[in-house]
Amino acid sequence: MRPILMKGHERPLTFLKYNREGDLLFSCAKDHTPTVWFADDGERLGTYRGHNGAVWSCDVSRDSTRLITASADQTAKLWNVQTGEQLHTFNFDSPARSVDFSVGDNLAVITTDPFMAFTSAIHVKRIASDPSEQTGDSVLVLKGPQGRINRAVWGPLNRTIISAGEDSIIRRWDTETGKLLQESEPEVGHTKQITSLAKSADGSHFVTGSLDKSAKLWDIRDLSLIKTYVTERPVNAVTMSPLLDHVVLGGGQDASSVTTTDHRAGKFEAKFFDKILQEEIGGVKGHFGPINALAFNPDGKSFSSGGEDGYVRLHHFDPDYFSIKI
Amino acid sequence: MADIINMKDAEALAAEWGIDTSQIDFDSIELPPGEDFGIISDDEDVYQEEQLDSDTGFGNVIVVDNLPVVPLEKFEKLEGVVRKIYTQIGVIKEDGLWMPVDSKTNKTLGYCFIEYNTPQEAELAKEKTNGYRLDKSHFFAVNMFDDFDRFMRVPDEWVAPEIKPYVPGENLQHWLTDEKARDQFVIRAGTDTEVFWNDARHLKPDPVYKRTYWTESYVQWSPLGTYLATVHRQGAAVWGGATTFNRLMRYAHPQVKLIDFSPGEKYLVTYSSHEPSNPRDANRVVINIFDVRTGKVMRDFKGSADEFAIGGAGGVTGVSWPVFRWGGGKDDKYFAKLGKNMISVYETETFSLIDKKSMKIENVMDFTWSPADPIIALFVPELGGGNQPARVSLVQIPGKQELRQKNLFSVSDCKMYWQSCGDYLAVKVDRYTKTKKSTYTGFELFRIKERDIPIEVLELENKNDKIIAFAWEPKGHRFAVIHGDGPRPDVSFYSMKTAQHSGRVSKLTTLKGKQANALFWSPSGHYVILAGMKGFNGQLEFYNVDELETMATAEHFMATDVDWDPTGRYVATAVTSVHHEMENGFNIWSFNGKLLYRTLKDHFFQYQWRPRPPSFLSAEKEEEIAKNLKKYSKKYEAEDQDVSLLLSEQDREKRRLLKKEWEDWVNRWQRLHEEEKLERQKLRDGEASDEEEEYEAKEVEVEEVLDVSEEVVSFE
């Protein structure tokens, strides 16, 4: 089907997130307003106004009532999804990069960038069920990795946190003690910055995309490498189909060199790979710049991509997609 | 022997001793001979020549003998004279001139030492001033300082050299006997140089040999594929064998830039150019011709770059390579160089000029050898403002008699194209229009093998078309021309003999509006690729000239190179990083345009098929095979089938394994996931479902009061 073009952001997209039911799509961009859309027809539902910097990432609670966003204005904000009201602001000393709600939505992991004298850090915050009782205290702060941490997510039963970033190493932390449990093997791991990380629907494994032009699939329990997907462009965004064994990679030539070459040279396609056979299945073209964000609808029947060009493209699959054989 | 210390410690130590390390040029430090301080050179190819330089560090010192013996009063004057002579050749180092004085007689000893900046300068000084006449009784005798040492070491007694037992060498043609009849190719990417079999049946390259830092600039197969030549700072080397790639020979030539094999690969020409110490001078050029098998220098040429600049008056761009063009087919009998108003033809028996002199040809612009026979085609432009017409001549070597000549009028430029067997010569002639404001192009076609060498003139239907590319069908009688003015030029095919016109050139067809700017004929003829390189983004059209039909069109985006394998079965297209940094790598296609496989390599520099020597089959036999191809191909078709069956079987097996592995992993995970179910529920405040589908969709109507305002409405 023809993709739905959603033009609501004025700056490059940074992150996309569906709610659990798959009827809402949240988008973050370098302009300051996260936006919520109907995931079916792409109609804009509303925006969340209050940030004063690029918004890097967001997460929505399981019951679709709370939204948390991380922004370069050195805050993470908690929102009422329905009304757009700001419930709480977590203040940091440096830009906040990624957020993720835990199982049960009682905790959130927020990463902050290295900035001036501050090193990068992973903060765990308790999310109160009553917003009036919400405090800004951190339950836990993890430090150590060099450079930016681009993504941190919860492991099974909230017992671990998985982080990945600029130093191209994936780390597993204990949320009880704050200890570093494990680092990914450098021989099999990425060789350049990890730009994105996406968990499978059941949380058993996750896929990482890197500027080394590959994506890798890992076991979330022991960080063992399961699969590698090799492509020909730097990978900025990854996602996995919850329905079929497909992995989608997005990316392209660095934004700064886009204008110097033919648009085909940039390879701004979203590439589909067979998750098990590691073979390329196909690609979805359309963006005029690198793809920065990808998300699959939880029903597996549509996906959306956000590009440097400021557009979100919402793709509903044709019926023959579901019968692809390779 | 000193212990090896790392840089950090060294710096600390230096600081301790008050040495400023930034003032030290580490590259200039010379270790005492035979001492490496435990640091083993990682370059096993350190050549003898190089060692000579560093053995004593006196490689740039010359000794000038036969100077007048003068008393101290005249010392300065003599020194001044000597200095004047030798600074003309190169820059003498500070305190680089030393004239010893006999302490008893207070007179000079009649010799002096001069130190230059580079060994090249020293050598030049020796060459130029040896025998220099200072006055009636003083003729300089100049020697390299190192030579004294070397000749002193020669033992007085002659010792019979030990005769080494004969060791049979490797069969260098072994790669031709590959059971699967595959071809090899070499690629360079990053620091690696790799040789592969093109395993088209398995749709992948099969690695043969890989070596990091194999060359310092580039590699090149010899024309018959026997050797792979690598270029290093100290010289060139050749390697051979099917899979072993042992080094067979080295050719010392410091700072070699370019190499070129003779067509029969008997000789290797190496070229280097050296910056002069006086920036006003032209670069110094050194060219050596080696015998490939013995490694002996057969002839060397030295001189300024101007002497080797081709095109007579031109020479702005410097030397055009190859300087020496080989003629006389595969026998490597002759080679020739274009000079100012002459062509110098050498023969390889004595490596001297034929008849001891060059061919004087006033104002000659260009020449080419026939690929098969010792015939030179040369072009002389118009002289005297058009009073003397331009001409193209065919000259027989070694007799130097003119076989055929054609005068041409109002010519602006000529280009000569030989057919690969030397049967035909096409001369592309650009002529001025009457107004002299623009040019138009025509062809003069020579039939070399026919009596009296008849010439035909061919003009395009549209005279104003620019010729974008021209190519003969290898071993054939057809040629293709890309012509046109616009962005989509036309491609025309012509034949020198068709059934209807056996003695005349005739057009076969014209393809209109093609995105092509280059022609690549299959080495066996019949097929041609019309390629749109660079500006056309790598469009490829595979065209069958026998049937005059397009077999396939394809694209290799931004392709920079197209290369047929020597058998004409496969084509490689490559994107090298020279032009384009994105998506470097190569694609392999079948002759009819089916993409077989693609390989991506970052920093991809070079792709080259290993050439094959010409077939031993006679022309009749080849024809017979072509006729009964069905009979011969059966065996190979069966093999193909077997392989493809095996492949699909292997593929299925691999997929089955991968699937099974994945399922096992998922099952393991599921078990753990089940075990943790209760805990997960607890985390979610008792919400039971893990399954995302199990939620109930309820339509709930929500009414929200946004605003309440009261208004008094009055009734009338």
> Which pLDDT does position B30 carry in this prediction?
52
* A277/B692 CB distance under 8 A: no
Residues of chain B short of pLDDT 50, as ranges, are 1-3, 33-34, 38-55, 311-317, 692-693
Q: Inspect the interface and report whether the beta carbons of B684 and A104 lie closer than 8 Å.
A: yes
- Would you say A194 and A209 are in contact if contact means Cβ atoms under 8 Å apart? yes
Q: Is B106 left (phi over 0), alpha (psi -120 to 50) or beta?
A: left
Question: Between the CA of residue B661 and those of A241, A276, A282, B657, B658, what are the distances in Å?
Answer: 19, 9, 24, 6, 5
Interchain CB distance below 8 Å, B695 and A201: no
Q: Residue for token digits 């479902």?
A: B689
Tell me which chain B residues have a C-beta less than 8 angstroms from the C-beta of A224.
none
Greatest Cα-to-Cα distance within chain A, rounded to the nearest angstrom: 54
Is-contact A168 A147, C-beta < 8 A?
Answer: no
Cβ of A300: how many Cβ atoms within 10 Å? Answer: 19
DSSP string covering A43-97: -EEEE-----S-EEEEEE-TTS-EEEEEETTSEEEEEETTT--EEEEEE-SS-EE
Nearest residue, CB atoms, B673 vs list A204, A261, A298: A204
Nearest to B582 among A21, A104, A265 (CB): A265
CA distance A55 to chain B (A): 28
Question: Position of tokens 């097929």?
Answer: B527
For B518-536, the DSSP string reads EEEE-TTSSEEEEEE-GGG
CB contact B706 to A (< 8 Å):
no
Q: Do B403 and B453 contact (CB within 8 A), yes or no?
A: yes
Distances (CA, A) of B192 to B189, B218, B233: 6, 11, 17
pLDDT value for B1: 41
Identify all chain B residues contacting A219, using CB atoms and an 8 Å cutoff. Answer: 665, 669
Question: A interface mutation test: which of B683, B689, B696 has the most A CBs within 10 A?
Answer: B683
Residue B673 parent element (H or E) = helix B629-675
CB B482 within 8 A of CB B468: yes
| Unique residue bearing structure tokens 């009880």 | A176
Going A170 to A174 to A178 to A180, the CA torsion angle's sign is negative
Tokens (6 digits) for A126: 């308790």
Distance set, CA B3 to CA A257, A261, B11, B633 (Å): 49, 53, 15, 66
pLDDT for position B56 = 55
Note whether B692 contacts A261, CB cutoff 8 Å.
Answer: no
- CA nearest to B659 within chain A: A276
Q: What is the pLDDT of residue B12?
A: 62
**pLDDT at residue B610, rounded to an integer:** 94
The confidence score (pLDDT) of residue B692 equals 46
Q: Are B672 and A221 in contact (CB < 8 Å)?
A: yes
Q: Is A247 helix (H, G, I), strand (E, B) or coil?
A: strand
H or E, element range at B120: helix B119-129
CB B418 within 8 A of CB B370: yes
Nearest to B659 among A104, A261, A276 (CB): A276
| 3-class secondary-structure state, position B276 | coil
- The CA distance from B630 to the nearest CA of chain A, in Å, is 34
CB B339 within 8 A of CB B345: no
Report chain B residues whose CB lies below 8 A from the CB of A204.
666, 669, 673
Tally A–B CB contacts below 8 A: 58
CA distances from A246 to A195, A232, A292, A321, B159 (A): 19, 18, 19, 11, 78
Whose CA is closest to B259, among B317, B335, B323? B323
B679 close contact with A: CB closer than 8 A? yes
pTM reported for the whole predicted model: 0.66
In sequence order, what are the residues at sequence separation of 6 or more whose Cβ sits closer than 8 angstroms to the Cβ of residue B130? B140, B141, B142, B143
Q: Which residues of chain A have pLDDT under 50?
A: none
Q: How far is residue A76's CA from residue A88's CA, in Å, rounded to a whole number?
A: 8
- The per-residue pLDDT for B387 is 80
CA atoms of B359 and B381, how far apart (whole Å): 17
In the 3-class helix/strand/coil scheme, how is B150-207 assigned residue by residue? HHHCCCCCCCCCCCCCCCCCCCCCHHHHCCCCCCEEEEEECCEEEEEEEECCCCEEEE
- Main-chain dihedrals φ then ψ at residue B570, nearest 5 degrees: -130, 160
Q: Hey, what are B144's tokens?
A: 């390299």
Give me the pLDDT at residue B18, please. 61
Contacts of A243 in chain B (CB under 8 A): none
Written as six digits, the tokens of B549 are 């039909």
Interface test with A, best of B680, B693, B695, B696 (most A CBs within 10 A): B680
Kindly report the nearest CA distance between residue A247 and chain B, in angstroms: 14
Give the model's pLDDT for residue A305.
93
Among residues A120, A118, A213, the alpha carbon closest in space to that of A164 is found at: A120
Q: In what order do the strands lie in the sheet with B235-240?
A: B219-221, B227-231, B235-240, B246-252
How crowded is the C-beta side of B348, counted as CA atoms within 13 Å? Answer: 22
- CB-CB under 8 Å, B557 with A103: no
Measured between alpha carbons, how far is B440 from B490 in angstroms, rounded to an integer? Answer: 16
Q: Regarding beta strands B133-135 and B375-380, do their DSSP bridges make them parallel or antiparallel, or are they unpaired?
A: unpaired
Angle in degrees, CA B650, B653, B658, rounded to 5: 125
CB neighbourhood size of A258 (10 A): 18
Do B504 and B494 touch, CB atoms closer than 8 A? Answer: no
Q: Specify whether the CB–CB gap between B589 and B568 falls below 8 A.
A: no
Is A157's CB within 8 Å of B695's CB? no
Which helix H or strand E contains B409, and what residues bound it? none
pLDDT value of position B687:
64
Asked casually if ipTM beats, i.e. exceeds, 0.85, the reply is: no
Of residues A21, A158, A275, nearest to B683 (C-beta): A158
| Interface residue A283 vs chain B (CB under 8 A) | no
